[in-house]
Amino acid sequence: MVLTFYRKYRPKTLADLVGQEEISEVIRNAAKTDRIGHAYLFYGPRGTGKTTTARILAKIANCETRMKDKKFHDTGEPCNKCRPCLEIDASQALDVVEIDAASNRGIDEMRNLKEGIKLAPSSYRYKVYIIDEAHQLTKEASNALLKTLEEPPEHVIFVLATTEYDKLPTTVVSRTQRFNFHKAPLKLIAGELRKIADAEKIKAEESALELIAASAEGSFRDAESLLEQVSSFEKEVTLSGVESVLGKVGLNKTGFLSRQLLEGNLEGSIKFIEEMDESGSNMVQLTKDLLQYLRRVLSLHFDPNISSIFEQELTDDELKEMKEQAKLVKLEKDVPLIKSLIQAYSEMRYSPFPIVPIEVAIIENLGGKK
């Protein structure tokens, strides 16, 4: 079976975890000093490396090379060559148990887990339980897990992963070491996609990779899956090809529409909307992207220094264009326009004619302001 990109290029060491350097450093230092905890909570958006980090932690805890080689031990990394490392990478480790809490969320499953942890590892130093989507556990299941988290056997490590931290009981949270995984900046994701494209000998335009990265919304996994999807349709990954497959337009086109609106060009705005609809673009996604674009433009209008935050998400040319558009902002007309677009976005998601709400919003706001 051919491995998907996100599995084939999944990070195998802490050093490979792009965008989560602080978390990597804390875990690495804990490994160097043999102070790996018994319970961790990894939380943050999807596709940011929570489960991957849990597996790396499982390898570090059980790596035979680390146990035998003091010099290597002090690197705080797994060797990825010994039996436990290879078995964990291949998802064949009996002592590393991954539980999907969305499917195994009841008290019976937690009771079975409590019975299972009493048994010593079959062949490793530690048993590692990775509970994914931990916020899905029922109240009863969470309560059953509490005592185990508080006083686990010495041979057990728990890693809870969740995308919805606020739904976890505080009693569970307080018994773990907590790590917040952040969305990856667009430039980092695009850089990783370039490495994969080169490794797979895929010809890809930079603008196409940037659009894929933007579509992934901070998720490496989503970006890698999208690249694989697009590359399966065409030999060369082009911007137009990505726009066609994803139904999403590039930032340059979104910027063009934004400029038409800020300049009060009703005819140009409506013509552009019609062209995008005719080409098969997703109008709901276009409106969402437009709102995000205008939000940044508005932010730059009030605080030009905020550009330092946008630098990781935009190319130099894109940021330059946004700064130019920020000078066009007139609050008395553009704030009502943005509010109308927000209303249009909420309406068009459920409309059989999604182009109508955005057209009406533009005409209402620009119709008398030519």
pLDDT of residue 325: 96
Residues 228 and 86 in one domain: no
The pairing of beta strand 203-204 with beta strand 236-237: parallel
Question: Which amino acid would we find at residue 196?
Answer: I
Domain count, the chain: 3
- Give φ, ψ of 237 to 5 degrees: -85, 105
Q: Provide the residue range defining the domain that includes 103.
A: 5-180
Residues 165 and 292 in one domain: no
Q: How many CB atoms lie within 10 A of CB 361?
A: 24
Query: pLDDT tens string for the chain (370 positions)?
Result: 567 888 899 999 999 998 899 999 999 999 999 999 999 999 999 899 999 999 999 999 999 999 999 999 999 999 999 999 999 999 899 999 998 877 766 667 777 777 778 888 888 999 999 999 888 888 888 887 887 888 888 899 999 999 999 998 898 899 999 999 998 888 899 999 999 999 999 999 998 998 899 888 889 999 999 999 888 877 789 988 888 887 777 888 999 999 999 999 999 999 999 999 988 888 998 999 999 999 999 999 999 999 888 887 787 888 899 999 999 999 999 999 999 999 999 999 888 888 999 999 999 999 865 4
In this structure, what CATH number is given to the domain that contains residue 202?
1.10.8.60
Residues 32 and 137 in one domain: yes
Q: Which of 281, 243, 315, 216 is CA-nearest to residue 5?
A: 216
Residues 150 and 274 in one domain: no
Of 230, 245, 260, the residue that ends a domain is: 245
Q: Are 264 and 369 in contact (CB under 8 A)?
A: yes
Label residues 206-230 b or e (16+ Cβ within 10 Å = b).
Answer: ebbbbbbbbbbebbbbbbbbbbbeb
Query: Which pTM value belongs to this model?
Result: 0.80
Of 227, 245, 263, the residue that ends a domain is: 245
pLDDT of residue 320: 92
Q: Which of 206, 246, 240 is CA-nearest to residue 228?
A: 246
Residues 328 and 362 in one domain: yes
What one-character DSSP code corresponds to residue 187? H
Residues 264 and 355 in one domain: yes
Residues 215 and 360 in one domain: no
- Tokens representing 287 are 């409106």
What residue spans of the chain are helical by DSSP H? 5-8, 21-32, 50-62, 64-68, 70-73, 83-89, 107-117, 139-150, 170-173, 186-199, 206-215, 220-231, 239-246, 251-262, 266-278, 283-302, 307-310, 316-326, 331-348, 355-366
- Rounded to an integer, what distance in angstroms lies between the CA atom of residue 119 and that of residue 39? 18
Overall residue count recorded for the chain in this entry: 370
The dihedral through the CA atoms of 90, 93, 94, 95 has a sign that is negative
pLDDT of residue 142: 82
Residues 115 and 43 in one domain: yes
In this structure, what CATH number is given to the domain that contains residue 170?
3.40.50.300
Residues 227 and 140 in one domain: no
Residues 220 and 318 in one domain: no
Residues 168 and 37 in one domain: yes
Residues 58 and 99 in one domain: yes
In this structure, what CATH number is given to the domain that contains residue 345?
1.20.272.10
